[in-house]
A and B are shown apart, each in its own frame.
Chain A
Amino acid sequence: MNAMNMRDEPLVYELSREGRIGCSLPRSDVPSKEIPLEIARSELDLPELDELTVVRHFTRLSQKNFSIDTEFYPLGSCTMKYNPKANEVVASNPGWKNLHPLVGEEYAQGAIELLWRLQEGLREVGGFAAASLQPAAGAHGELSGVLMIHAALKERGETKRKKMLIPDSAHGTNPASCTMAGFTTQTIPSGLDGGVDMEALRAALDDTIAGIMITNPNTLGLFEKNIEDICRLVHEAGGFVYGDGANMNALTGVFKPGRSGIDVMHFNLHKTFSTPHGGGGPGAGMVAANETLAPYLPGPIAVKADSVYRLEMPAKSIGRVKAFHGNFGVLVRAYCYLLMTGSDGLRQVAENAVLNANYLKSLLEKVYPVPYKRHCMHEFVAKGAIADTVHTLDIAKRLIDYGFHPPTIYFPLIVQEALMIEPTETESKETLDLFAEAMKRIAEEASKNPELLHDAPHIAPVARLDEVMAARYPILCYRG
């Protein structure tokens, strides 16, 4: 934290000096060829930097970030757990990095075998019939899944089923994915216990529903106790059940979603399977399905026949959702993690993620009200309503001064002033104790000296930024 780079760092354009270059090529050994004048480029406005300037610039930029490697990062619903360094070692192997996606399958047997092993491993974790590793992210997996439902309904001739039910605690990607698949959405409210309101669900079921998208545990960090009934009712009404696996970190080795009646589901490999978030991506979003929907999976998927590995389109596949073979480099990392954790380790992951969340909840709930009085799973939602003049945002910003990344705030939308806290299983007891201590001190400051919170963060490369100006008068690239 104190090492954070507080100095202003110029933009690459401001560091540019005409004539510099950061990397040189061998001299060309072929004749030069003219570019037809009418289509030749006259100028190219890129910066010119030497190599050391590049190194210092990006090193300094990196030091302006909080990261898992440097700080506790309890972002709810994001599963910011430790990303093992072994994953990075294997992912940088030239056998992957220099492997072209269009070489013949005989030249890529190691890669296709890795896809197959990971696919089968994840299928087992979820309890499904088949899986595809094509989606590049969780939202991409969702889109794939709802398109699979769309295709299955179309094949049945049930074209009037256009409505997808979505609990009010769902991530925004759920309704957005439905729109992209041509479905409309209907919101289902949460009941008093934080789960789906079963009466509201029953009332919404008719012959126009395509299905429901359900996140379990939901974004309140609560297990959907009625999951079997929800699936049964939706199936009886002729719909499908989509499982959003964003929170699978709570359940690995404890519960298989496929057994509870979920038809199709995605996992976020950058959450549960600990591939790095990379400041926003790339992720990877396996999508898996039961026997009914498996033929519609996006392809190609890996198959094994007589110890030869091939890539194949599933029988009724919705098609390709991206070019080539998924975010392969991310999949290599996830496979390494799966090997290292194994069946026993995956259960420990879920157990300790749940232990850590409940422990932290027990430390905080006397000061920060927790609206649902149940054991939580891997995360919990508390309220930042601790003093009249203080908002959740102020608490979040003050945490930065204590050297902690803020939790997710103002989500889920159904809890006012929400603080959504996910410690993950890789954090130690003393880190959780220190975080709780900081949260309690902030609560004291909130009543004694609220200005301290309003003006926070005090120790960061920049103070609170003017987001209104950024949106009103957008400056989206360098204007030199």
Chain B
Amino acid sequence: MSFVPHTDPERAAMLKGIGVSSIEDLFSDIPEHLRIEGLALPGAVSEIEAIDEVETLADRNVQTKDMDWFLGAGAYYGYIPAVVPALAGRGEFLTAYTPYQPEVSQGTLQAIFEYQSMTAKLLGMSVVNASHYDGATALAEAVLMAWKAKEGRNRIFLPKDLHPEYSQVIATYCTSFDIEFIRYEGDPAQAPIDERTAAIIIAYPGFSGEMYPISKASEKAHEKGALCIVQADPLMCAIFKSPGEQGADIVTAEGQCLGNPLNFGGPYLGMMGTTDALIRRMPGRIVGQTKDKFGKRGFVLTLSTREQHIRREKAVSNICSNQGLSMLQTCIYLATLGKNGLQEVAKQSYDKAHYAAQLIDIIPGYHVVPKLFFREFLVETPDSATKIVEALNKKSIMPGLALSHYYPERANELLICVTEMNTKAQIEKLASALKEAVK
């Protein structure tokens, strides 16, 4: 099934119109010895067979609902209201292109503008772009943005307590440039930044769940002439002070937790916001409000001279697409939950995580590490965390991430995440299973 509508007579008429006798003639520019006979792939199958085959594969995976789920580590199991996929899946959104022709793309453009508006308030920034591939690439682009903005400075301070995959993506993105990365531990306000520092990155919260207020660190950065980049949990910003309120110059975030499914890691939503001063250095698409000749409000892609299709090698980034549908899901999610709903999701996650931490911290041998956290916290375990995970999996509990997944030497550490999806009963079951696992 190639979804081609032509019948044989139509095809013949078209060839006649072109003035050739066969389709092969149209390929005459391809050197004959390079044309292939066929591909070593199976032949076409029907829709029934294709769906069956893909669903058979899907059935072989373990889903969040199969267990009591406490695994996060950068990808979060949250509730997605039914309206979100129902509306985002409409064909008019799904099968439209990038809104380069604004008159017939007002739906997509207004949705982006609304996303920009809501997330700018959430993160406390003047402007948020129409999105990056994910939180990790958004942060890597923010590093390059800051480095280029601070000409002559080549130091970037990076927290040790940052999602390891984010650190890896930053390393890949910066491989060709003379940037010195300095890893710091603990409170970012204590990091020894200096006049050679282009920026300090603050994880809000860190990978371990630990968070620090940002204001002092951002003040210090500004005193030294450096920029303050914050990698934030956007849901946390619903109840904790926003990075913008605390002096951040660039904020990046992973927006998956705002209405996007886990999907084995993608597509997710790279959020990036900045201040008025840095707008023209920010990569990514931006939508602006304007008017048509009758004075009617409308929306257009704007500040495009930053981008590759105009500035080519001098563009601020090579990024071309955005995560349009993921962004739309988040836009609808935020509109649906609104101010009270989002704060409720965040507060329930916070309350439940703290209830869990309190129960776990009193189990002999277990110790909750972070002092101030949102919904995820690192726990020191009395035995190998991998073994504990395996034991609890047998009881249909996914207790979190054994840190040895990323750091083989950190065998006795478990990262536990609690969201609004977890019930009190699940949390209590988790705590007693953790206790039993090391008897």
Contact = CB atoms under 8 A, between A and B. Distances in A.
Query: In the complex, are there CB atoms of A and B closer than 8 Å?
Result: yes
A445 interface: no
A139 interface: yes
Contacts, number: 684
Interface in B72-92: 73-75, 77, 79, 81, 83, 85-92
B180 to A, nearest CB: 16
Given A282-B133, A359-B14, A352 B62 contact: no
B146 to A, nearest CB: 15
Contacts of A384: none
Nearest to A475: B289
A425 B2 contact: yes
Nearest to B353: A33
B155 interface: no
B210 to A, nearest CB: 13
A113 B57 contact: yes
B3 A429 contact: no
B432 interface: no
Contact of A176 (B175, B303, B308): B308
A428 B5 contact: yes
Interface stretch (B185-193, B217-225, B293-301, B377-385): B293-301
Contacts of A330: 266-267
A178 B313 contact: yes
Interface string B226-269: 00000000000111111001000000001000000111111110
Contacts of B30: 223, 225, 254-255
Contact of B324 (A63, A278, A411): A278
B1 interface: yes
Contacts of A471: 288, 302-305
Interface residues of B, number: 201
Given A65-B96, A352-B2, A475 B288 contact: yes
A100 B133 contact: no
Nearest to B356: A30
B292 A463 contact: yes
Given A278-B325, A323-B169, A470-B290, A375 B213 contact: no
Contact of B55 (A90, A280, A463, A469): A90
B404 interface: no
Contacts of B71: 100, 102-103
A222 B50 CA distance: 34
Given A65-B105, A67-B93, A280-B324, A321 B116 contact: no
Given A44-B343, A64-B106, A172-B310, A339 B322 contact: no
Contact of A477 (B43, B63, B120, B315): B120
Interface in B329-374: 332, 334-345, 347-348, 350-352, 354-355, 372
A351 B289 CA distance: 43
B351 A33 contact: yes
Interface string B114-128: 101110111000111
Contacts of A46: 118, 121-122, 334, 337-339, 342
B39 A96 contact: no
Contacts of B127: 476-477
Contacts of A400: 101, 103-104
9 contacts: A32-B347, A39-B213, A124-B40, A280-B322, A327-B266, A348-B4, A375-B28, A428-B6, A476-B120
Given A68-B91, A183-B176, 19 more contacts: A41-B238, A54-B87, A62-B87, A62-B93, A102-B74, A136-B137, A150-B175, A173-B309, A223-B30, A253-B38, A260-B34, A278-B325, A322-B136, A329-B264, A340-B1, A343-B44, A429-B6, A465-B298, A477-B128
Q: Which 7 A-B pairs have the closest CB atoms?
A: A324-B265, A182-B176, A95-B58, A101-B265, A110-B60, A69-B91, A342-B44
